[in-house]
Every structure is written in C-alpha cells, then in structure tokens.
Amino acid sequence: MNVAIWILLVQATLGAFDTLYYHEYKLKLAHGDHTQVELRLHAIRDFCYAIIIGTLGYFTWNGVLAYVLLTILVAEIVITLWDFVEEDKVRRLPGGERCMHAIMGIVYGAFLAYLLPEMWLWSQKPTGWGLSYHGIPAWILLGLSMGVFLSGVRDLMASLGIKERRG
C-alpha cells in the first residue's frame, strides 16, 4: 500500500499544479461564460478526489466499503472522460495542459494497479474502517484533500453563476 500512497501523492501534486497553473492562472476557467459544464464536472471530480486523497493515508475501506471506494474511483474515471470530451467542445487546450492530462492518466493507472489488489484484500474483511497510517505522505495528502475540496466548492459556485466577492 505504501507504493500506492506515494503514487497518489504524485497524482495529487500534479492535479494541484494543473488546477492552479492552467485552470486558475493561465485560463481563468471560473470566469468563463462557456465553462459551466466543465466546472461542474471538475467540482464533482474534486469531491471524489477529496474523499480518496483524504482517507487513504489513514484508513482502509473494508468489506462493503471497498466496493463504495471502487464506485468512487470508477465515477472519477467516467467524469474525467466526460471532462475530456467537454473540454474539446468548448475550448482549445494548451499543449502543456493536454500533456499534463496524459501524464496524470498514466500516473492514475499506476496508482490503481497498486491500489486495486489491496482493495480486494480489504473487501474480504468485515465491513468497517481499518487504520492504515502512512506518516508524512498522509499529512500532505490530507492538506491536498482540503485544497481539492475547496477548489470543488469554488468550481461548483462558479458553474452556478455565484460570483466570488472581491475585497
């Protein structure tokens, strides 16, 4: 599981860079008039990621909970694929962002390759949360999960036309 946690940390860091640099700084997606659907997809995916990133450094999802986690992981994949289609409909992605998405897809695949066998073992245990503390990476992931959750709230608000206040 340690390898999966480190790969998840790489994935979360890449996602943070993608969001902060491309979505916020370079493209200002939250301020676009044509990005509502994309922002909603980002928000839902961010909420999935907040759960994944925020829990795996500390807990195992045992018994039926392993299938709940699997559902969240599959939902994240479906949302990401839908997001790719939506992005191509409404805007031209910079080459760097397109490459970042490809790298993130590869890293996510590696993460799943290490996580899914663990989840199979978890599914064989009685339903409940197990403790699985992963030290410093767990704390970094917890911080990143808070950031991705707040990003999801911001994207959801922007997709609904709720503007942020400027001081």
pLDDT at 166 over 70: no
* Amino acid of residue 106: I
Q: What is the pLDDT of residues 55-76, one digit of tens each?
A: 999 999 999 999 999 999 999 9
The two three-digit tokens of residue 39, written as one number: 């922002």
Please compute the mean of the pLDDT values over residues 20-27 and round it to a whole number. 77
HSE-CB of 58 using CA atoms within 13 angstroms: 12
Q: Which of 113, 75, 74, 83 is nearest to 101 (CA)?
A: 83
> What pLDDT was estimated at residue 26?
75
The two three-digit tokens of residue 167, written as one number: 């001081």
In this prediction, residue 164 has a pLDDT band, given cuts at 50, 70 and 90, of low
DSSP for residue 93: P
HSE-CB of 135 using CA atoms within 13 angstroms: 5
Please compute the mean of the pLDDT values over residues 49-53 and round it to a whole number. 97
* Average pLDDT along the chain: 91
Q: What is the pLDDT of residues 78-137, one digit of tens each?
A: 999 998 898 888 878 788 888 999 999 999 999 999 999 999 999 999 999 999 999 999
pLDDT at 49 over 60: yes
Lowest mean per-residue pLDDT among 5-19, 20-34, 130-144, 152-166: 20-34
Cβ-in-10-Å burial (0-12, 13-18, 19+) of 31 comes to exposed
Please compute the mean of the pLDDT values over residues 14-39 and round it to a whole number. 80
> What pLDDT was estimated at residue 116?
98
pLDDT at 167 over 60: no
> What pLDDT was estimated at residue 159?
86
